[in-house]
Amino acid sequence: MSRFIVNSSKALSGEVCVSGSKNSALPILASCILTGGVSTIKNVPVLSDIEIMCTILSHLGCKINRVDDVITVDSSNVNCTAVPFELTGKIRASFLVAGPLLARFGRAEVSLPGGCTIGTRPVDLHLKGFSDLGAEHIIKDGSVSISCKELSGARICLDFPSVGATQNIIMAAVLTKGQTIIENCASEPEIVDLADFLNKCGANIKGAGTDKIVIDGTNSLKGCTHTIIPDRIEAGTLMVASAVTAGNVTLKNVNYSHLSSVISKLTEIGVCITEFGSDINIKCTMPVKTTSIKTMPFPGFPTDMQSQIAALFCFINGTSVITETIFENRFMYVPELIRMNADIKVDGRTAVINGKGGLVGAEVNATDLRAGAALVVAGLAAKGKTIINNADYLKRGYCNFEDKLKKLGADVIIEE
Ligand code: UD1
């Protein structure tokens, strides 16, 4: 079990380059199945979740070649349409191969990814979308078998703008005869990146980034070269880390518009944020003011930034309120922050944080990826040493996190 040791750090300063987006790279790698050719994906972060997706693609028959942040996927010899539990159980995003397999081969058998610490996370919206396109599914022994004679375009209205369901339905529909319209779909930047990739491969997807996507099915796709967008959650986490230490940090390779809601909240509490093209400078003089946030689908405040901002709120005198609307169990990090002397009360989907101007280091457990990031943020400004157990979670979503923080002057170290 690796541990992330964070000592109280001076103000972070300097510049660091943000890696490519994990949540964009995962569906784009899965969608390479659709092309039956060779795609080159650049700016792919080096993360364990990405490695697992590559293992799944290899299992299906894709040839994968990785050199640093460039992954080449040759899907011309895919010879398997089933993914066993050993692989799907490791990352939820494994279910994203279902749409491409169904579109290209008319069948997919994928072990259900199941819930995780942040919530039950069903895949009913994915399956409802496949069914609207004409597929049938059977759930047996924890696996779902999806099949169809032929898919045909349909009008699909999602009950909730699920990111994964939108991606899976797009991927199932691109090779489908006729027109598919997805309403109330997700509009996250990762959806736009997937549509951009598929359009370069020859797909005809319009409206990505809005709540209505129109796909005109095409007969075949070809591979292409694509560069993954910057990781907005890594950028947001580094912004909060910089703010909590009253730092002066420049993040390179960032898309400002992907971070509007986070920037708006940080600006509201008194953090100074300036955009220079694809760079963002964060300057903060503590103390800053309290505020309230509510997580929402994009362009609202991202649930994936909720725990990190909660850690920052612990250092601001007064009461801040966080309401989580996306996942039902995303306050698992709260007892860990309480070990560090935080005063936080959770009632259902709301957490009330009474900032008392600081925390003290303690031994804590990362309960999930973003919870781990929150504990790092807390540890940077807490008095003394914070030992974060289960640090492997951080490797799932933060590429070279230790090195990036060290480059900014943080006193951190990973113990394997
Ligand atoms: C993606 C991100 C994750 C982020 C989340 C919300 C990836 C790999 N992960 O996850 O980091 O926190 O978006 O921005 O991109 N739901 C259903 N039925 C479904 C699908 C979803 O009820 O069929 C519910 C989920 O349980 C959850 C909510 O919808 O409560 C949002 O989930 P969704 O947007 O699908 O998140 P993911 O795609 O799993």
Closest ligand 1 atom to Cα of 126: 23
Q: Taken in order 249, 209, 91, 307, is the CA torsion positive or negative? A: positive
Above 70 in pLDDT, residue 338? yes
Listed residue (263, 320, 262) closest to 295, CA to CA: 262
Q: How confident is the model at residue 416 (pLDDT cuts 50, 70, 90)?
A: confident
Residue 245's alpha-carbon distances to 173, 238, 248, 400, in angstroms, are 47, 11, 9, 20
Find the range with the poorest average confidence among 80-89, 228-237, 239-248, 251-260.
80-89
Mean pLDDT across 1-20: 95
Q: Whose CA is nearest to atom 24 of ligand 1?
A: 121
Q: What is the pLDDT of residue 89?
A: 83
Listed residue (291, 323, 309) closest to 377, CA to CA: 309
- CA gap 239, 308 in Å, rounded: 10
Helix (H) or strand (E) holding 322: strand 318-323
Q: What is the pLDDT of residue 114?
A: 60
Does 116 qualify as catalytic in the annotation? yes
Q: What is the pLDDT of residue 314?
A: 97
Mean pLDDT across 52-78: 97
Distance in Å, CA 199 to ligand 1 centroid = 24
Check if the beta carbon of residue 196 is closer than 8 Å to that of residue 206.
Answer: no
Concatenate the DSSP letters of all residues of 50-92 into one string.
HHHHHHHHHHHT-EEEEETTEEEEE-TT----EE-HHHHTT-G
Mean pLDDT across 301-320: 97
* Average confidence score pLDDT of the chain: 95
Distance in Å, CA 312 to ligand 1 centroid = 25
Q: What is the pLDDT of residue 297?
A: 98
Above 60 in pLDDT, residue 115? no
% pLDDT > 90, the chain: 91
- CA gap 111, 220 in Å, rounded: 27
Q: pLDDT per residue over 276-299, tens digit each?
A: 999 999 999 877 899 999 999 999
Q: What is the pLDDT of residue 357?
A: 78
Distance in Å, CA 246 to ligand 1 centroid = 33
Among 162, 182, 232, 305, residue to substitute to test ligand 1 (most atoms within 8 Å of Cβ): 162
Above 90 in pLDDT, residue 84? no
Q: Measure CA of the first residue to CA of the last residue in the chain; give whole Å.
A: 7
Please identify which of the residues 32, 116, 148, 224 carries the catalytic annotation. 116
Q: What is the pLDDT of residue 112?
A: 86
Mean pLDDT across 344-369: 95
Token digits for 67? 């050199």
- CA gap 25, 40 in Å, rounded: 12
Q: What is the pLDDT of residue 134?
A: 97
Buried b (16+ CB within 10 A) or exposed e, 61-76: ebebeeeebebbbbbe
% pLDDT > 70, the chain: 99
Q: What is the pLDDT of residue 255?
A: 97
Q: What is the pLDDT of residue 141?
A: 87
Q: pLDDT per residue over 151-196, tens digit each?
A: 999 999 999 999 999 999 999 999 999 999 999 999 999 999 999 9
Mean pLDDT across 342-367: 96
Q: Whose CA is nearest to atom 26 of ligand 1?
A: 121
